[in-house]
Amino acid sequence: MSGEPDRPSNESDPRASVRRRVFVAGAGIMGSGIAAQCALAGYPVTLEDVNEELARRGLANATRALDHAVERKKIGPGDRAAAIERIEVGIGLRRAESAQILIEAAPESLELKRQLFRAIEEFAPATAILASNTSSLPITSIGQELKDPGRLVGLHFFNPVLQMPLVELIPGHVTRSDVVEAARAFAVSLGKTVVTSRDTPGFVTTRALAVLVNEAAWMLYEGTATKEDIDTAYKLGFHHPMGPFELVDLVGIDTTVAILDVLWDGFRDSRYRACPLLRTMVAAKKLGRKTGEGFYSYRPPGGTA
Ligand SMILES: NC(=O)c1ccc[n+]([C@@H]2O[C@H](COP(=O)([O-])OP(=O)(O)OC[C@H]3O[C@@H](n4cnc5c(N)ncnc54)[C@H](O)[C@@H]3O)[C@@H](O)[C@H]2O)c1
């Protein structure tokens, strides 16, 4: 998707030297982008995943995103090098002890996120902010088993993080106002524009997006048009920068189905009934760009990855 230019890192900004660590749990599509963005803004970052291979893959993806920003002349090679230097990969939560803000970017599962935050809370300093990058799950539910749920907030970044200027801020029902304001200031320090949403399933953006891509999937399923024509119709008819199938491949088809299920659970409205075609693609492990194949193929000709 097209977006505003990336913000250059502020190496010359004296505040950068006093910025405290950001701990990112989950080094997938979003965690790697968030890590790159935070590092570019001068924060030391720990990028953590369940094993070293995944954490290192996340760092490689963060590096690629920064390379791409240099190619597009949004940042200079010095900014890129300094940002990469600020990212360390981590396994386990020990480094959370020195973090000012801990951002969870693990898969879209309520139980997984609850467990992860319970573990994070054991390590994080009492004054640190806990933020979830969930696209759809209620923040209040994610935090309900925390000792201090008042410090959990939703900070919803968009993909690709370096190019997308928006962050959705979601205070849970018990989130303290100082935490909300600190999270807002943090997102602004990354160069993002912040919109605030109440803690309802899918917030503003995900709810709108889910319906848009699900409707496209139903049209394909029913044989209304080809995926190429549906993508072209959305792009040329509505000025969307990407078609719905290009977009769902970028977001991840598994993530999209998980989001639709959260909306269905939250509203019990047939608008959110996931098209069976999306579920079939998840079962076939055709998840989009991240697996090399979704509605479109991203494998090099003759290649396997
Ligand atoms: N993909 C998008 O476009 C997008 C956009 C906005 C928000 N989100 C949200 O961001 C979150 C992450 O999505 P993603 O697309 O990056 O997923 P992903 O599958 O690409 O990455 C998730 C990563 O979390 C890791 N993980 C699993 N359990 C973990 C644990 N206990 N501790 C640390 N890491 C763990 C996985 O190994 C994986 O590398 C989800 O909540 C999703 O809804 C996604």
Q: What is the CATH number of the domain that holds 236?
A: 1.10.1040.10
Please report, for the domain that includes residue 104, its CATH number: 3.40.50.720
- Is residue 65 in some structural domain? yes
Residue 152: strand pairing partners? 130
Q: Whose CA is nearest to atom 38 of ligand 1?
A: 28
Same domain, 275 and 188: no
- pTM score over 0.75: yes
Same domain, 18 and 133: yes
Question: What is the arithmetic mean of pLDDT over 248-254?
Answer: 95
User: Of the residues 176, 196, 216, which one is the last residue of a structural domain?
Assistant: 196
Average per-residue pLDDT in the chain?
92
The whole-number pLDDT of residue 17 equals 43
User: Of the residues 179, 196, 213, which one is the last residue of a structural domain?
Assistant: 196
Same domain, 211 and 191: no
Reported as a pLDDT band with limits 50, 70 and 90, residue 69 is: very high
Residue 166: strand pairing partners? 193
Reported as a pLDDT band with limits 50, 70 and 90, residue 7 is: very low
Same domain, 122 and 67: yes
Closest CA to 62 of 45, 78, 42, 74: 45
Same domain, 154 and 240: no
Q: What are 156's two structure tokens?
A: 């919803």
Same domain, 143 and 109: yes
Pocket of ligand 1 (CB under 6 A): 25-31, 48-50, 54, 105-108, 112, 116, 133-135, 156-159, 251-252, 255, 290
**Count of domains in the chain?**
2
For residue 213, give its domain range.
205-291
Please give the angle made by the CA atoms of 75, 80 and 81, to the nearest 5 degrees.
150
| Residue of 30, 47, 247 to mutate, ligand 1, most atoms within 8 A of C-beta | 30
The pLDDT tens digits for 171-197 are: 999 999 999 999 999 999 999 999 999
Same domain, 192 and 220: no
Same domain, 38 and 133: yes
Same domain, 180 and 218: no
CA dist 227 and 246 (Å) reads 9
